[in-house]
Amino acid sequence: MKNYLGKKFIQISKYPFLFLLLIWIVFFIQTSYRFNFVKWGVLPRETQGLPGIFTSVFIHGDLDHILSNSFPIFILGLMLFFFYSKIARQVFVWIWLISGIWLWIGGRNNPDYPIYHVGASTLIYGLATFLFFSGIFRKHLRLMVVSALVVFLYGSIMWGIFPLKQEISWEGHLFGAIAGLLVAFNFRKEGPQRFVYEWENETETEADVLETEEERDWKEINDKNVVDNNHNDIKINYIYKKFEDSLPKNFGDDN
């Protein structure tokens, strides 16, 4: 059992770990050799900013920035690959692309000076909302516990989708969160599914049978009423006579 859990942990952790390692390598190169990688971020609505859709998540402005993103991206990545192992890579890539494209379309920019959006926080918000809504959409008890855990650990980050601080790319947070929601809905029928008990299927079958029988009974009653109405179609003929004609012939004789 321990060997299985150890292998399972290594298997699911390699992707989040490699991603985290890569962003730290980029940051180390940037700070050590004083490269300005910020220009590889998303520059909204500018052709030169298109590559940032793919590269911006690896770039961070300073040490505090990368530290604040490292732990959440690793933990949420572990949760994604553990509970949704079959679709984890697809989910990760789709959130990455959708949030990046939307940020390029709708992010802030300034004609006087360019505003580059960098950091892995778009992915963090996307993974958090995916893990939260996916458990709800699937009505899966264990995954709903994961949803509650995400709220407990990272529920407060949702304040980041509001424009409270101008130096923070709240648009990236917002688009990442929406991307996670949409991907969760789109993949709701793929990956782990709620176990359906036999009695649930039996209940549904019985309900269908009862509904069919009820419809048949109503049809028979309606058909019978139509037949009865046809048979009971009685004609009444009224014959009018004068009052004198209706009296007996000897009516009023004194004898």
Predicted confidence (pLDDT) at residue 255 exceeds the cutoff of 50: no
Task: Provide the H-helix boundaries in 139-189.
Answer: 141-154, 170-186
DSSP 3-state assignment of 25?
helix
Q: What's the pLDDT tens digit per position in 185-213?
A: 999 998 778 766 554 555 555 555 555 55
Give the per-residue pLDDT at 64.
95
State pTM to two decimals. Answer: 0.74
Please identify which residue in the block is written with the tokens 């590269």.
55
* Residues 3-21 pLDDT 10s: 666 777 788 889 999 999 9
Quickly state the pLDDT bin for 240 (edges 50, 70, 90): low
Of 99, 146, 142, the C-alpha closest to 121 is 99
Residues 51, 97: contact at Cβ < 8 Å? Answer: no
CATH numbers and ranges of domains, the chain: 2-186 (1.20.1540.10)
pLDDT category of residue 248 using cuts at 50, 70 and 90: low
Task: Give 62's contacts (C-beta < 8 A, 6+ positions apart).
Answer: none
Tokens 């959130």 correspond to 95
**Number of Cβ within a 10 Å radius of residue 185:** 13
The most confident of the ranges 41-45, 133-137, 162-166 is 41-45
User: Which residue spans within the chain are E strands per DSSP?
Assistant: none
Instruction: Give the span between the Cα atoms of 151 and 170, in whole angstroms.
Output: 19
Whole-number Cα distances in Å, 40 to 49, 61, 118, 123:
7, 12, 8, 17
Q: What is the predicted pLDDT for the residue at 214? A: 56
* CA-wise closest residue to 128 among 162, 173, 177, 70: 177
In this model, does residue 117 exceed pLDDT 90?
A: yes
Contact between residue 42 and residue 49 where contact means Cβ atoms under 8 Å apart: yes
The answer, yes or no, to whether residue 229 has pLDDT greater than 60, is no
Q: CA geometry: angle at 192 spanning 186 and 196, to 5°? A: 105
- Write down the pLDDT at residue 193: 80
Give the Cα separation of 100 and 21 in Å (integer). Answer: 21
CA diameter of the chain:
149
CB atoms within 10 A of CB 80: 24
Closest among 130, 153, 134 to 142, alpha carbons compared = 134
> Residue 74: which H helix or E strand, with range?
helix 63-83
What angle, rounded to 10 degrees, do the helices at 88-106 and 170-186 form?
140
Please name which of 173, 165, 151 lies closest in space to residue 57, comparing C-alpha atoms: 173
